[in-house]
Amino acid sequence: MKTGTHLFLFKIILDKQNQNRHFLKENTSIKNVLNKKVFLVQTYTTIGFLSQNYDSLALLKERKIEKPFLSVTNSFKTLKSLTRVPKEHKNRVRRSKKISFVYANNRAIRVVKDKKHADFIRQFSWMYSTSANETGLSYHKEFAFSKSDIIVEDSQGLFEGESSSIYRLTRDKLQRLR
Spell out the per-residue pLDDT of the chain, length 178, in tens: 333 322 334 433 444 444 444 444 444 455 555 657 888 888 877 888 999 888 888 888 888 888 889 999 989 999 999 999 988 899 999 998 888 999 988 899 999 988 888 888 888 889 999 888 887 777 888 888 888 888 887 777 777 777 788 899 988 788 888 8
What per-residue confidence (pLDDT) applies to 110? 92
Quick one: which H or E segment has residue 166?
A: strand 165-169
Task: Identify whether 136 is part of a domain.
Answer: yes
Residue 1 forms part of a structural domain: no
pLDDT of amino acid 31 = 54
Give the C-alpha separation, 100 to 70, whole Å. Answer: 8
pLDDT at 29: 52
The parent domain of residue 159 ranges over: 12-176
Q: Which of 46, 60, 64 minimizes the C-alpha distance to 150?
A: 60
- Report how many domains make up the chain: 1
Task: Look up the pTM and report it.
Answer: 0.77
C-alpha to C-alpha distance for 19 and 31, rounded to whole angstroms: 19
Longest dimension (CA), the chain: 51
Distance CA 61, CA 168 (A): 24
Query: Domain containing 70 — which CATH number?
Result: 3.90.870.10
pLDDT number for residue 133: 83
pLDDT for the residue 34: 60
**Alpha-carbon gap, residue 173 to 44, rounded angstroms:** 27
Q: What is the pLDDT of residue 21?
A: 43
Question: Strand, helix or coil at 94?
Answer: helix
Give a yes or no: residue 7 inside a domain. Answer: no
* Domain-located, residue 139: yes
Q: Cβ neighbours of residue 146 under 8 Å, at least 6 residues apart?
A: none
